[in-house]
């Protein structure tokens, strides 16, 4: 069974540009989560999508947005990039909304560098 | 109240030794406590998880100890091996709010032969 996949692996942008990151969940998983892993800060929750709807978002500005497509894949968009947006962006998927099936499976991440 | 505090930041252990990583939380609504293991260049992978109805869970060389009254939980790695060298994250989740995991800041474990 294929795991969570993310593209691109690396992304280099300059300040003020926009970045688009993509995620394909494990087949059959309907929930997709996005996390930011900045150096020394652990993983910070960004966004949660389920069945095409945004269910919750973390404490990030509105220039972080995304969507989930009918095939449950997801896209994270970061507008007006700032230097501090440089981080590893991780996508996770889970099978069921309700516990105990809410184990989150992570992809390898997209390393975003803002110059 | 949403934080999970993890220590130590880094840990060096000799092969065969015991690695211990500690986490503490404040939110008493948390009822799911997973540990994730992350190798360089990879996403985190679930290692072991516990719910507060038990005080200990063991899977192979990995054990979670849970102290509900102290709001603390820890990961013990017995007979640590060089292949265990990775970053370990504790996390907590309130399953009434099944979306986000709250992660600790991570512990970088190095096991030397």
**Measured between CB atoms, which of B99, B103, B106 is closest to A56?**
B99
Q: What is the average per-residue pLDDT within B5-20?
A: 97
B22 vs B102, residue with greater confidence: B22
Give the percent of chain B with pLDDT over 70.
Answer: 96
* Cβ <8 Å between A58 and B45: no
* Cβ <8 Å between A103 and B49: yes
pLDDT of residue B13: 97
Q: Does B99 score more than 80 pLDDT?
A: no
Q: What is the average per-residue pLDDT within A50-74?
A: 94
Give the percent of chain B with pLDDT over 90.
Answer: 75
pLDDT of residue B68: 93
Query: What are the phi and psi torsion angles at A83 (to 5°)?
Result: -55, -40
Which of A5, A21, A35, A43 would you mutate first to test chain B, the one with the most B CBs within 10 A?
A: A43
Write the CA distances from B5 to A51, A88, B26, B46, B90, integer angstroms. Answer: 32, 21, 9, 19, 9
- The C-alpha atoms of residue B60 and residue B58 are separated, in whole angstroms, by 6
Q: What residue in B sits closest to A54 (Cα-Cα)? A: B99
Q: What is the average per-residue pLDDT within A62-67?
A: 96
Q: What is the average per-residue pLDDT within B10-36?
A: 95
* Cβ <8 Å between A56 and B95: no
pLDDT of residue A100: 55
Nearest-Cα distance to chain B for A18, in Å, is: 24
Q: What is the average per-residue pLDDT within A55-82?
A: 96
- Residues in chain B closer than 8 A to A58 (CB atoms): 100
Instruction: Give residue ranges of A with CB < 8 Å to any B CB.
Output: 4, 33, 35, 40-45, 48, 55-56, 58, 90, 92, 97-100, 102-109
Q: What is the average per-residue pLDDT within B68-80?
A: 96
- Residues in chain A closer than 8 A to B101 (CB atoms): 43, 45, 104
Rounded to the nearest integer, the mean pLDDT of chain A is 91
Q: What is the pLDDT of residues A71-101, one digit of tens each?
A: 999 999 999 999 999 999 999 998 865 555 5
Would you say A86 and A111 are in contact if contact means Cβ atoms under 8 Å apart? no
* Cβ <8 Å between A56 and B44: no
Q: What residue in A sits closest to B49 (Cα-Cα)? A: A103
Would you say B25 and B4 are in contact if contact means Cβ atoms under 8 Å apart? yes
Q: What is the average per-residue pLDDT within B85-94?
A: 94
pLDDT of residue A2: 81
Would you say A34 and A74 are in contact if contact means Cβ atoms under 8 Å apart? yes
Least confident of A99-103, B32-36, B56-60: A99-103
Q: What is the average per-residue pLDDT within A105-113?
A: 95
* Cβ <8 Å between B105 and A40: yes
pLDDT of residue A1: 64
């Amino acid at each position: 069974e294929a795991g969570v996949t993310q593209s691109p692996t690396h992304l280099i942008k300059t300040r003020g540009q926009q970045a688009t990151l993509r995620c394909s969940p494990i087949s059959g998983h309907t929930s997709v989560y996005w996390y930011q892993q900045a150096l020394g800060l652990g993983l910070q929750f960004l966004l949660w999508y389920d069945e095409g709807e945004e269910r919750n978002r973390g404490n990030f500005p509105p220039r972080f947005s995304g969507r989930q497509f009918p095939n449950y894949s997801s896209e994270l968009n970061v507008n007006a990039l700032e230097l501090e947006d440089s981080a590893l962006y991780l996508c996770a998927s889970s099978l069921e909304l309700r516990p105990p099936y809410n184990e989150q499976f992570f992809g390898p991440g997209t390393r975003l560098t803002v110059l | 109240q949403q934080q999970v505090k993890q220590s130590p930041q880094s840990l060096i252990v000799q092969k065969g030794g015991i690695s211990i990583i500690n986490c503490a939380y404040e939110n008493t609504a948390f009822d799911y406590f997973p540990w994730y293991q992350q190798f360089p260049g990879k996403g985190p992978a679930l290692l072991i998880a516990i719910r507060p109805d038990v005080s200990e869970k063991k899977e192979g060389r990995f054990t979670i100890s849970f102290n509900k009254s102290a709001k603390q939980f820890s990961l013990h790695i017995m007979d640590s091996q060089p292949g265990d060298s990775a970053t370990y994250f504790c996390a907590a989740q309130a399953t009434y709010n099944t979306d986000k995991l709250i992660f600790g800041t991570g512990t970088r474990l190095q096991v030397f032969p």
